[in-house]
């Protein structure tokens, strides 16, 4: 493995341990075992290296915390119960990726200054929407076949927005951030409200 790969691995380690804003060039050199000049030679700058490391780390983390199916859940359980199981698993994984998730939010503030970073993040978010769409299909089971592609994409985007919002709340206020159970209570409440507002229910 060459200096380029060593630097990338070292930078990812620093992101997890120190965060984006607090990582120095010397931190990366110490973590990678490479020399200071190699950062400029292979990546041009510390920021470019950190951006590359963050994107790769976020891709790895996204695949882990955004499953495409509900793990260890009763396949015959009602969809609402499978929804709770899926979101409980996702929220629990936030607890082991705090520094990396914080770093990702730091980078969002830089997208206007680094066009290539914006493009890469946009692609990552779109992949997240598609991953969440597959998760919904796993939760809904056969009933997912009743939805057209546009609706499935909309649900994937909704799940992705939910994940980002819950992640932000957990990072700021983990003691009061919503759990998988809280999200399910909200879903049940909205379903009850929606059913109560239908014309058929109003005439009953």
Per residue in 181-200, pLDDT (tens digit) is 999 999 999 989 888 866 66
State the DSSP code for 82.
H
CA nearest to 132, candidates 68, 60, 83: 68
Residues carrying CATH 1.10.357, the chain: 66-194
| CATH code of the region 66-194 | 1.10.357
CATH code linked to domain 1-53 = 1.10.10.60
Tell me where in the chain the CATH 1.10.10.60 domain(s) lie.
1-53
What phi, psi does 43 have (nearest 5°)? -125, -15
Residue 105's contacts (CB-CB under 8 Å, 6 or more residues apart) are 168, 171
What tens digit of pLDDT does each residue of 40-84 get? 999 999 988 988 888 887 777 777 777 778 877 777 888 999 999
| pTM listed for this prediction | 0.79
The pLDDT, as a whole number, for residue 100 is: 75
């Amino acid at each position: 493995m060459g200096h380029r790969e060593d630097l990338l691995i070292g930078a990812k380690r620093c992101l997890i341990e120190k965060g984006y804003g607090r990582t120095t060039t010397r931190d990366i050199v110490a973590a990678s075992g490479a020399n200071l000049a190699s950062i400029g030679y292979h990546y041009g700058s510390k920021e470019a290296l950190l951006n590359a490391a963050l994107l790769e780390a976020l891709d790895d983390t996204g695949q882990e915390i955004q499953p495409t199916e509900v793990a260890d859940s009763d396949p015959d359980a009602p969809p609402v119960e499978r929804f709770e199981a899926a979101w409980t698993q996702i929220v629990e994984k936030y607890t082991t990726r705090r520094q990396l998730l914080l770093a990702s939010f730091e980078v969002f503030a830089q997208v206007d200054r680094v066009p290539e970073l914006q493009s890469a993040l946009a692609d990552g978010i779109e992949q997240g929407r598609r991953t969440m769409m597959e998760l919904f299909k796993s939760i809904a089971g056969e009933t997912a076949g009743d939805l057209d592609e546009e609706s499935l994409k909309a649900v994937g985007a909704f799940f992705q927005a939910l994940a980002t919002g819950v992640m932000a709340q957990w990072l700021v206020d983990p003691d009061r951030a919503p759990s998988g159970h809280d999200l399910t209570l909200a879903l049940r409440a909205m379903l009850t409200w929606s059913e109560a507002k239908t014309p058929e229910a109003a005439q009953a």
